[in-house]
Structure 1
Amino acid sequence: MTTGPLPLQPLSPISVRRNHTAPLPARNSAAGARRRILTPLYIACANRSRGPDDYYATLKALNSKGRTPRKSLGQHYMLNSEVNEKLVSAANVEEGDVVLEIGPGTGSLTNVLINAGAIVLAIEKDPHMAALVSERFASTDRLKVLKEDVVKCHIHSHMLSLLGSKKSSDHSKSRYAKVVSNIPFNISTEVVKLLLPMGDIFSEVVLLLQEETALRLVESSVRTSEYRPINVFVNFYSDPEYKLSVPRTNFFPQPNVDAAVVTFKLKQAAEYPQVSSTKSFFSMVNSAFNGKRKMLRRSLQHICTSLEIEKALGSIGLPPTSRPEELSLGDFVKLHNLIVKE
């Protein structure tokens, strides 16, 4: 049993199911592999990746700062350069693109982005890793590192500044930026909620997520147990697509779950479903799902009477006993516009 990364398993968009993921090692074998990986950091690997940021290069970078991954920050470092190449390819990164990277870590993905010709804004919460990636790329003017927490960062102003300087320097029309990131699993939902409404500055968001989260965001549909407000949110602001699975053995330390690459093509404001207020729309959706097993005529009584809700449901072709998991994004939009008075 080796501890090196396994090959990627490309999957067709949308038609992903759990049984398509790569076969995993036996439980006790995996446990033994994790114990060997955790201490010490200097490890041999029989199945090393190609490229400058393989298994050894990543561990060497961590050792150079005497760092061990911090569980509190959800740090799992990519050991397979092929995954980084596929992330960049999924975003169609070209010469001159402005790219936001969240959590650059040792800079393995950053390196691929810069080699592809991108101008990168990297946001890193861990000051030690921010220093490491800054030192590594000190000789290039294609990288700016911010030592900040991404969920508290003023992304808009930073990105607009970069896009503006690029426009003035190359005299070209301003293009939308992109997001390409291997983000900590523990902040994935926060990051998705933060980035998807930013269609005014980003054209697409490409993320490496926990596979279960990826499947839930992309595949969950009406009348399934996984259908939640986040699905309405994702489809309101974007067109999501599942790209490929990434086995857990490609990370250090090895997490307890596999990962997946997902792309979100962001919509422009003119493409959003027409609602009088996005704030009141998502407030209504969240209220509906707070009583998921309740009929909407009961869970939305704080907005209007049960009779009015039943009438509104009937006018859009739905039964008066409808529950939230039975409504599509379009149904929620129609219902909102009928019962919410601004």
Structure 2
Amino acid sequence: MTHLLNSLPPIASFPTLAVPANTSGAGGRTQTTSLQIASASRRSQDDDYHATLKALNSKGRFPRKSLGQHYMLNSEINKQLARAANVEEDDVVLEIGSGTGSLTNVLINCGATVLAIEKDPHMVALVRERFESSDRFKVLQEDIVKCHIRSHIFPMLESRNALNASSIRAKVVSNLPFNISTDVVKLLLPMGDIFSEVVLLLQEETAVRFVESSLRTSEYRPINIFVNFYSEPEYKFSVPRTNFFPQPNVDAAVVTFKLKQASDYPSVVSTKSFFSMVNSAFSGKRKMLRRSLQHICPSNEIERALEGAGIPTTSRPEELALDDFVKLHNIIARA
């Protein structure tokens, strides 16, 4: 384990963690205050720095760059993730990338039943061995992007719902590999029928883009339309890069996505054709919509649809909010 320890900062050098206060700023980003990380004596009782290294060393493993593996060394952040999702007794939680099980342990201690999806077979063996005595844990060796999540989550929810008067939905809490964040968001957000909220630790830049990207900026993209169509996103707190091993080149941040159910989605003629239109609009980002959408229908019809939606005929995609795209799509689809 010596070579791993030599790669890390001293245990007392963890920075202050920014956590949410009770007020929110513009764009859904929560104003933050500072929470001093617990003392070294408190941390020694937690599943963090040395526990992570011992777990990796026990399997002779070193984090794999190809899998985007950056292990959390600060247990307080894992606890903040669980709090952000309001994880409670008898919750069903999906965790993507369980790693050494440090976040898993926090979730189980909150009383949740955890389904972990882990791609690395060595980490699967590690957490399976670690939690073998727990009846609140199950791990699957699968690629989350290819996993049939519903077939695994539905049976767990059915057993809970049989004991409750009201239907409950699962939650997602994950320290996500940065390189699959957009794919995972696209996969999970339309699942409001089985998940109530998704809490992800993401690359800081990605987190800000999902929540705060504004009209008429280069960061405004189809993913912003997608995120707001299916959820209510909120930036919770930032996580400095020094809390990970190996240390990434960027900081991270936690975002919560409160998922909408189908009845709360914007009313569109066809979800598939709606997002096809949005993607087409942004494929020629600096082009006016009457040009970038002309493969759908003639330019003069696009102009009439824009006028009918109350949108200037010279508009470009980065100038339209979600509601504008919904109005435009419905007029074109019903023409």
* Per-residue deviation, 1:165: 2.3
* Per-residue deviation, 1:53: 1.1
* Per-residue deviation, 1:225: 1.6
Cα deviation 1:273-296 (Å, max 9, x = unaligned): 000111000000000000000000
Counterpart of 2:125?
Answer: 131
Q: Is the 8 A contact 2:189 2:227 kept in 1?
A: yes
CA distance in 1, matches of 2:315, 2:295: 17
Q: Is the 8 A contact 1:241 1:263 kept in 2?
A: yes
Count of residue pairs brought into register by the alignment: 317
Q: Which residue of 234, 243, 265 corresponds with 1:250?
A: 243
Q: Is the 8 A contact 1:5 1:79 kept in 2?
A: no
Cα deviation 1:84-103 (Å, max 9, x = unaligned): 00000000011000000000
Structure 1 residues 290, 14: CA separation in 2 closer, same or farther (over 3 Å shift)? farther
Amino acid at match of 2:14: P
Counterpart of 1:284?
Answer: 277
Q: Is the 8 A contact 1:93 1:118 kept in 2?
A: yes
Q: Which residue of 155, 178, 198 corresponds with 1:185?
A: 178
The 5-angstrom pairing of residues 75-86 of structure 1 reads 75-86=69-80
* Per-residue deviation, 1:340: 2.4
SS in 1 for 2:187: helix
Q: Which residue of 64, 72, 85 corresponds with 1:70?
A: 64
User: Larger deviation: 231-240 or 311-320?
Assistant: 311-320
Amino acid at match of 1:118: A
Counterpart of 2:15?
Answer: 6
Amino acid at match of 2:228: N
Aligned-pair Cα RMSD in Å: 2.1
Q: Is the 8 A contact 1:14 1:219 kept in 2?
A: no
Structure 1 residues 56, 50: CA separation in 2 closer, same or farther (over 3 Å shift)? same
* Per-residue deviation, 1:172: 4.8
SS in 1 for 2:145: helix
SS in 1 for 2:219: coil
Q: Is the 8 A contact 1:309 1:339 kept in 2?
A: yes
Q: Which one has a larger percent strand, Structure 1 or Structure 2?
A: 2
CA distance in 1, matches of 2:328, 2:106: 46
Amino acid at match of 2:217: T
Amino acid at match of 1:270: S
* Per-residue deviation, 1:307: 1.1
Q: Which residue of 308, 311, 327 corresponds with 2:304?
A: 311
Counterpart of 2:195?
Answer: 202
SS in 2 for 1:163: helix
* Per-residue deviation, 1:174: 3.3
The 5-angstrom pairing of residues 41-60 of structure 1 reads 49=43, 51-60=45-54
CA distance in 2, matches of 1:203, 1:51: 32
Q: Is the 8 A contact 2:19 2:33 kept in 1?
A: no
Q: Is the 8 A contact 2:309 2:331 kept in 1?
A: no
Cα deviation 1:82-137 (Å, max 9, x = unaligned): 00000000000110000000001000000000000000000000000011001111
CA distance in 2, matches of 1:78, 1:100: 18
* Per-residue deviation, 1:2: 4.5
CA distance in 1, matches of 2:101, 2:25: 30
Amino acid at match of 1:231: N
CA distance in 1, matches of 2:134, 2:60: 25
Q: Which residue of 286, 294, 304 corresponds with 1:293?
A: 286
Structure 1 residues 279, 149: CA separation in 2 closer, same or farther (over 3 Å shift)? same
Identity within the alignment, %: 74
CA distance in 2, matches of 1:245, 1:15: 17
CA distance in 2, matches of 1:54, 1:148: 25
TM-score (ref. length: structure 1): 0.88
Q: Which residue of 83, 89, 94 corresponds with 1:89?
A: 83
Q: Which residue of 305, 316, 324 corresponds with 1:323?
A: 316
Counterpart of 1:264?
Answer: 257
Structure 1 residues 323, 113: CA separation in 2 closer, same or farther (over 3 Å shift)? same
Q: Does 1:152 align with 2:146?
A: yes
CA distance in 1, matches of 2:180, 2:272: 22
Structure 1 residues 88, 99: CA separation in 2 closer, same or farther (over 3 Å shift)? same
Cα deviation 1:266-323 (Å, max 9, x = unaligned): 0000000000111000000000000000000000001111111111112222211000
* Per-residue deviation, 1:50: 5.3
Structure 1 segments unaligned to the other structure (5+ residues): 23-45
Q: Is the 8 A contact 1:13 1:243 kept in 2?
A: no
* Per-residue deviation, 1:9: 1.5
